[in-house]
Amino acid sequence: MKRLNVDRARVLRRTSTDAEQALWYRLRSRHLMGWKFRRQHEIGGYIADFVCSDAMLIVELDGGQHADKVAYDERRSCELQTMGYRVLRFWNNDVLTNIDGVLEVIVEALANPAPHPNPLPGGERGLR
């Protein structure tokens, strides 16, 4: 199963949509405020479009095919959230017509990290 996901991620990287290419151009090489993103990255059996592991943030781009997969996408997002990730979803059209607005939402999420899903007892803070 692991090998299939690695191969699938490679195919997805080679066949990315125009919206994925446009957003990747703005996220790659730490272009967005120095945050490191990966694209088509496997997490818990899923392949996420874009992941910033340091911020535990996943960015998903949805095309028209996702209108028929709302229940699956919601279940997938919930499972990723139980692993501690925040999931932001954007329509491909939003990226293509308002990439600055999309980036603004991503920057806001990076600036305001969600609380840790398993905080240490007594309010102690662990090392980052």
Bridge partners (DSSP) of residue 58 are 51, 87
User: pTM of the prediction?
Assistant: 0.81
Cα dist. 47→16, 39, 89 in Å? 13, 9, 14
List, for residues 54-111, the tens digit of each pLDDT value. Answer: 999 999 999 876 566 889 999 999 999 999 999 999 999 999 999 999 999 999 999 9
- The amino acid sitting at 122 is G
Fold category of 2-113 in CATH: Endonuclease; Chain A (3.40.960)
Q: Is the pLDDT of residue 125 over 90?
A: no
Token look-up 């139980």 returns: 82
Domain ranges of the chain: 2-113
